[in-house]
Amino acid sequence: MDGKKPPETMRAAVYYNNNDIRIEEMPVPRIGDDEILVKVAACGICGSDVMEWYRIKTAPRVLGHELTGEITRVGSRVKGWKEGDRVMVTHHVPCLKCHYCLRGHESVCDTLRSTNFHPGGFSQYLRVPAINVDRGTYRLPPNMSFDEGTFIEPLACVVRGLRFSNIRPGDTVAVLGSGLTGLLMIQTARAMGAGRIFATDMHPARLEAAETYGAKAVRADGDVAAEIREGNEGRGADLVAVCTGSPKAISQAWEVVGRGGRILFFAPTDPDARVEMPFNKVWKDEVSIVTSYAGPPRDIEAAISLISNRRVDVKSMITHRLPLEKTGEGFRLVPEGGRTLKVIIYPNGPPTGDESVEG
């Protein structure tokens, strides 16, 4: 990241569908007086990026929202930022003053659902609109690499989910689905004081990873509820975090949750999916149901602290680092699951002088 004057054109990975990612040339965005230009250092591929039913509706477009970079141009009215600052930028930001924001539901704010930067993190440069400069741009701590910073946004979503679930010290937590989000959920629950943690998956590598991060692994195709009760003094889980859109996992949640427990539905299903709920059990056992989407500013700040203070280890979750030209390969790797966890794209090549390029 050399801080030189940006060129007139740049390259970007343009999404047409999951199997058609094209490297195209386009103008470097021009910024207004209240905006900044960021040279993208690293951008993670999110699970939502590869949900084709969701993304195809707006194709062709440049995706990528888990990004870090360096400010290379600052609008004349921007205060508090300068060229060379290392930053993380989030794409969706709330208004902080509407009915929903004032009640702690920033994620359903109309502003949050309509804001974005341009064109996307899988490009060499990014224009950050004024509202995102104001409440969606964060300085990376000196001890945080660009790679580690790409986890801030997904970790913020996890922090919010657990906060909404009212996690308590000593809670027994069951994490259904041990992909990247599930593994972040395990670590964050531990950092928030959880007691016993169980985690399910079908893939041996992911079950192994779950144990590495502090959970008791349980195969998802076994009697999950019985195994958890056996390892939890005969009780179900106080908190069940469903980190997969699998209808089977959703059904398991009703069996796994204990009396007085909470279920966090953290991942979406396919748009037409329908699931049954054992209503009388949920009612009689006083089970609470929580959903959570996105990570507003307070949770982003918490995520930065968790990573910076090494309470959540994200660096070990990086399994692939790819140049922009191989973005399409990344989009094939992520849905495969298994040993693939976090895939990071380098739009401008590996960041020089940054510890994230090691290994």
Are 143 and 182 in a shared domain? no
Which domain CATH number covers 275? 3.40.50.720
Are 34 and 83 in a shared domain? yes
Instruction: Please identify, among 258, 291, 324, the residue that sits at the C-terminal boundary of a domain.
Output: 291
Are 251 and 203 in a shared domain? yes
pLDDT digits 0-9 by tens, 75-108: 999 999 999 999 999 999 999 999 999 999 999 9
Distance CA 240, CA 253 (A): 6
Domain assignment present for residue 4? The answer is no
Are 33 and 147 in a shared domain? yes
Are 101 and 200 in a shared domain? no
- 3-state secondary structure at position 323: strand
Domain holding 286, by residue range, is 166-291
Has residue 357 got a pLDDT over 80?
Answer: no
Are 146 and 173 in a shared domain? no
Domain assignment present for residue 2? The answer is no
Are 13 and 149 in a shared domain? yes
Are 150 and 21 in a shared domain? yes
Instruction: Please identify, among 275, 291, 307, the residue that sits at the C-terminal boundary of a domain.
Output: 291
pLDDT digits 0-9 by tens, 7-34: 899 999 999 999 999 999 999 999 999 9
Has residue 209 got a pLDDT over 80?
Answer: yes
Distance CA 289, CA 265 (A): 8
Has residue 358 got a pLDDT over 50?
Answer: no
Smallest CA-to-CA distance from 183 within 140, 236, 134, 243 is with 243
Contact 42, 318 (CB under 8 A): no
Listed in sequence order, the residues at least 6 apart from 160 whose beta carbon sits closer than 8 Å to its beta carbon are: 107, 292, 294, 295, 296, 299
Are 202 and 240 in a shared domain? yes
pLDDT digits 0-9 by tens, 150-177: 999 999 999 999 999 999 999 999 999 9
CA angle 192, 281, 289 (to 5 degrees): 35
Residue type, 252: Q
Q: What is the number of structural domains in the chain?
A: 2
Has residue 264 got a pLDDT over 50?
Answer: yes
pLDDT digits 0-9 by tens, 238-263: 999 999 999 999 999 999 999 999 99
Domain assignment present for residue 161? The answer is no
Task: Work out the mean pLDDT of the chain and round it to a whole number.
Answer: 94
Has residue 354 got a pLDDT over 90?
Answer: no
